[in-house]
Amino acid sequence: MDTAWMLRNDGKPFPVDHHIYADPEDTEDILRAAQWLYLNTGCVQIRMIITRMYALWAWKRKPRATALDTLVKYASENEGFFPDKSFIEGQLGSALETMDHREKLHPSGEDVDDYCSFALIWLNQEFLRVRYGGMYDSEKGCKDIIFRISSVGFDWYPYIQGFVGTTRLDIDTVTIVRDAESTGAGNAAYRALDGKHLYNRMPGREFLDERNSQTAPKNHLYYMEGATNARVRGARASLFEGGLRHGCGMMELSREIRRLLPLENQLVSCNREC
């Protein structure tokens, strides 16, 4: 039985053996995690950014070699600690060969660290982490389900309702918190629809009954409203519509999410049981 998932922001769950994280100070760890993101993101632009990230890393490591050759060789020598060789040759091969041919002799000056930082930001924006049976480890006999949110400016409520309402799991309680590991916020719980209680071990039936007893307000599970959220949407549109050459739009969106992350962390952390 599956007990851990990465839930995408369109409601699609991806079973995992362990939740996907990476050390922000460890470039190779980010490159490893980015393989999972590349294979499971719903966004073509993100796959393009990840491919370029790999190329920039390879060119920096061995300026006189092709990105594809460098990546394949390194993957062979570091199996299990780096993206798979089959992934590099298969999913990335053609795009890397094109980049090598077009740009190898004309370095763009882009910083691979910027791309790595963005890959982590996007992982936390596009996915939340779900576990059945405990917060970080699934304990036998525990029927609690925990949703850990690390994004800003996105309402996960309808997708969490959809997951709980369609799963075959026997759920006793539902908890929805900020993800301490990826946000640094502490496991602060989100406030329930009644405005009085928190999603902190709420009985599963009570959680499902919310959707029948009252209409969920728009943007229930996030705190970035008005102009601040509009800036996130605007930066996101710049990324998706403005092209990707030289990271167009990527840095703008990164800056905006970094600016809003501590604010949303603080607002959720202020929640208390009434």
> Which of the given ranges, 49-53, 234-238, 244-248, 254-258, has the highest pLDDT on average?
49-53
- Supply the pTM of this predicted model: 0.88
User: Could you tell me the residue ranges of all domains in the chain?
Assistant: 20-123
Q: For position 68, what pLDDT does the model report? A: 95
Question: What are 246's two structure tokens?
Answer: 């030289």
Res 29 pLDDT > 70: yes
Query: Tokens in use for 267?
Result: 């607002």
Report pLDDT for 109: 73
Confidence category of residue 132, pLDDT binned at 50, 70, 90: very high
At residue 224, the pLDDT reads 46
* Other CB atoms within 10 A of residue 17 CB: 7
Q: Which DSSP string do the residues of 72-95 spell out, in sequence order? A: HHHHHHTTTSS--HHHIIIIIHHH
Mean per-residue pLDDT of the chain: 85
* Rounded distance between C-alpha atoms, residue 138 and residue 1, angstroms: 11
Give pLDDT tens digits for 107-118. 567 889 999 999
Q: Identify the pLDDT of residue 81.
A: 83
Express each pLDDT in 171-208 by its tens digit: 999 999 999 999 988 778 988 877 778 899 999 999 99
Supply the angle between the helices 112-126 and 44-61 in degrees, to the nearest 10: 150
pLDDT mean over 221-241: 58
Identify whether the C-beta of residue 197 lies closer than 8 Å to the C-beta of residue 168.
no
Distance (Å, rounded) from C-alpha 194 to C-alpha 165?
Answer: 19
Confidence category of residue 226, pLDDT binned at 50, 70, 90: very low
Residue 227 pLDDT class (50, 70, 90 cuts): very low
- What percentage of residues in the chain have a pLDDT greater than 90? 54
The two structure tokens encoding residue 260: 């809003």
| Unique residue bearing structure tokens 């760890």 | 29
Of the two residues 22 and 154, the one the predictor is more confident about is 22
* Separation in Å, CA 211 to CA 16, 162, 206, 214: 28, 10, 10, 6
* pLDDT reading at 213 higher than 90: no
